[in-house]
Amino acid sequence: MFKTCNNSGFHLTFKNGITISVQWGEGCYATGVDSISTGVEARSAEVMIWDGNEHTLTFDTGDTLGYLSPDRVAVLIANTAAAVGLADLSTRLQAAGFISIFQE
């Protein structure tokens, strides 16, 4: 499922029941946020990930991981789509260097 967030981000929910939120609007952990006539642009964005039971993936910095480049967001999206649950996603993201420990 796709969901838009006030023209400054989106949510993707995959078959595995995990949702990733990518946000870059005002007040987000993002850089280069610029409102233009066609929407909002930014050089980086923040990400939050949770499952259908509302358990949130915790990064070293908390529930939200900010200031991510498009390339790093793409890695998070691919791993989120491929995971079979938050524990599996945590393992994948540890290997990719995004988090050091998994917490619910």
100 CB-near residues (< 8 Å, 6+ apart): 60, 94
Q: Name residue 22's beta-bridge partners.
A: 10, 47
Domains of the chain, by residue range, sit at: 2-95
DSSP sequence for the chain: -EEE-TTSEEEEE-TTS-EEEEE-STTSS-SS-EEETTEEE-S-EEEEEE-TT-PBP-BTTBS-EEEE-HHHHHHHHHHHHH-SSHHHHHHHHHHTTS-SS---
In this structure, what token pair is assigned to residue 67?
């200031």
pLDDT in tens, the chain (104 residues): 777 777 789 999 999 999 999 999 888 999 988 876 566 788 999 999 999 998 999 888 889 999 999 999 999 999 999 999 999 999 999 998 887 654 44
Rg (CA), the chain: 13
The whole-angstrom separation of Cα 93 and Cα 82 is 11
